[in-house]
Amino acid sequence: MSGIKQSEEITFRLSNLILILGLGGIVTSLLFANIPAFGIISLFPLICIGCMFLLKYPWLILFVIFAMNYFIMGITRYFPIEEISVIMDISYVVALVIIFIHASLYQNLELKRAIHILSIVSVLWMLYCFLELINPTASIEGWIRSRGLILNGLIMTILASLLCTKYKILKALIFTLSLFTMLAVAKALMQKYIGFDAYEQKWLDDGGHVTHIIWSGTRYFSFFTDASNMGANLAAASMFFGISSFYMRSPIYKIYYLIVAILSLLVMLTSGSRGAMIIPLGGLALYAIISKQTTTIIGSACTLLFVYVFFAFTTIGEGNSTIRRMRTAFHPTEDASFNVRIENQKKLAPYLRYKPLGEGLGLSGDGLGVKVSERFTTSIPNDSWYVKIWVETGVIGLILYLGMILISIAKGGWIIATQIKDPELKGQLSGLLCGIFGMFLNAYSNSFWGQFPTMMISFMGLTFVLNGLYFDQDIQNDKRTISNN
């Protein structure tokens, strides 16, 4: 306790010193009529005090970074920002620095929380990516530009493990995600019923119309990178909050999360993303397994069967362009875009057969690859996160990456099914896991998995599930404290 008091005293003295220096700087800059200096000096104390506030309550960093990840791509449509990844890299580094300064001041960093299957395999993935530097066909520039693929999953896992240590923080993060989801829903509805604003229209005119104004109608994208990313995230949100709504103790939360889930699912359809259909279906299938309840298994099986029969064997609603487009997902061999994907993979297969390490990071046809180097692999579109990993890191990298996620999902499912006691926590973790599992299935048909905000939601969500026992213990401790009082 003396160490904590001493740290608080140091923080208080630093705050006073910064405030005094800041006031002195403001007075000096005004005396010399230096307006730019006045502006900078005026903000500097606020920034410093804000950093010290984060030092005392570092879990707030998660909310800041989470918000940045969710909205940063939408912001770039209105304010062109170069090197967005650098901005996020800086925020991650600042977060890690603040964590370890906080730990040195308060001596309360629980490193064991960051040691689990996802973090361990993420380290192996990072080491494998470093091995890619000796790949004969690799590009240093491509490797550097792929640093997000190399490090971000591990960094997000560490941040989520060390900063989200209480159930109330987890609950607040999930609630924050629901607010962000409702904003995404509102923006998509504005696009549909009011129209695109000038900046969105410019994005469409500059090339976005090719994939978003198509034969079946307009594909809406809200403030996401594109319609596929929006469709995937809203479909996952329908799982996050749909499942959670049945387990929340508060009736208000139950109703609110159910509304979020329904709206997310309906607006997902406006994205025209056929691949997103697999997310609620796959998530529902996983939920049936981890719930271990006969009624849930029967209900899920009947729902899946109904959806499949409706889209695959009937023509009901064929007059609706959205339903008509979604129905093509259940007849993939008749879909031109699906056949193009298969043909592209057939072209890549012979070339990669004798390249177990792949072509090299950043050297696939995902847009970045063309900027780095013009070669065979960059001339063929990925149209799939799995194909991107396969092309850039080879079959070895593909097995390692798929294994990292699938093992984490399997372990998380086992934890939820067998070890979590609190019903509300079980429901929220189940929603997260099922939504992430669905997105991972959808990553076969789209490369959105590595985009903002999907990667952060996925790695943070898996981390919360894998650390579910800590949250369960926290809930049980609170219950014991209340009963003792």
Helix (H) or strand (E) holding 218, with range, is strand 217-218
Provide the number of structural domains found in the chain: 1
Integer-rounded Cα radius of gyration of the chain:
24
| Contact (CB, 8 A) for 352 and 300 | no
The Cα–Cα gap between 297 and 290 comes to 9
Residue at 5 is within a domain? no
- Rounded distance, CA 32 to CA 72, Å? 38
- For 300, other C-beta atoms within 10 Å of its C-beta total 20
440 within some domain: yes
User: Is there a domain that residue 305 lies in?
Assistant: yes
Q: Is residue 321 part of a domain?
A: yes
Residue 1 has a pLDDT of 45
Residue 331's CB: how many other CB atoms inside 10 A?
A: 11
**DSSP string across 365-376:** BTTHHHHH--ST
Which pLDDT belongs to residue 176?
95
> pLDDT at position 11, please?
53
Judge whether 58 lies within some domain.
no
Name residues whose C-beta falls within 8 Å of residue 274's C-beta, 6 or more positions apart in sequence: 325, 326, 328, 329, 335, 445
Domain that holds residue 192: 106-484
Q: What is the pLDDT along the chain (485 residues), one digit of tens a residue?
A: 444 455 555 555 555 555 565 555 555 554 555 555 445 555 556 666 666 677 778 888 899 899 989 998 888 888 877 777 788 888 888 888 888 887 777 767 788 899 999 999 999 999 999 999 999 999 999 899 898 999 999 999 999 999 999 999 999 999 999 999 999 999 999 999 999 999 899 989 888 888 888 776 789 999 898 888 999 999 999 999 999 999 999 999 999 999 999 999 999 999 888 888 899 999 999 999 998 777 877 887 888 888 878 877 787 877 777 777 777 777 666 666 777 788 888 899 999 998 999 999 999 887 666 677 788 888 888 888 999 999 999 999 999 999 999 999 999 999 999 999 999 999 999 999 999 999 999 998 888 898 889 999 999 999 999 999 999 999 988 877 777 76
Is 447 part of any domain?
yes
For the four alpha carbons of 131, 133, 136 and 141, in that order, the dihedral sign comes to positive
Looking at residue 10, its pLDDT comes to 53
Res 210: pLDDT:
83
Q: How many residues does the structure list for the chain?
A: 485
Alpha carbons 305 and 303: distance in angstroms, whole number? 5
| pLDDT of the residue at 5 | 55
Domain assignment present for 69: no
What global pTM score does this model have?
A: 0.88
- What is the structure's pLDDT at 464? 97
Distance, CA of 156 to chain centre: 10
Indicate if the alpha-carbon torsion angle 150, 154, 159, 164 is positive or negative: positive
Say if 15 falls within a structural domain: no
What pLDDT is stored for residue 80 in this prediction? 77
Instruction: Check residue 21 and give its pLDDT.
Output: 56
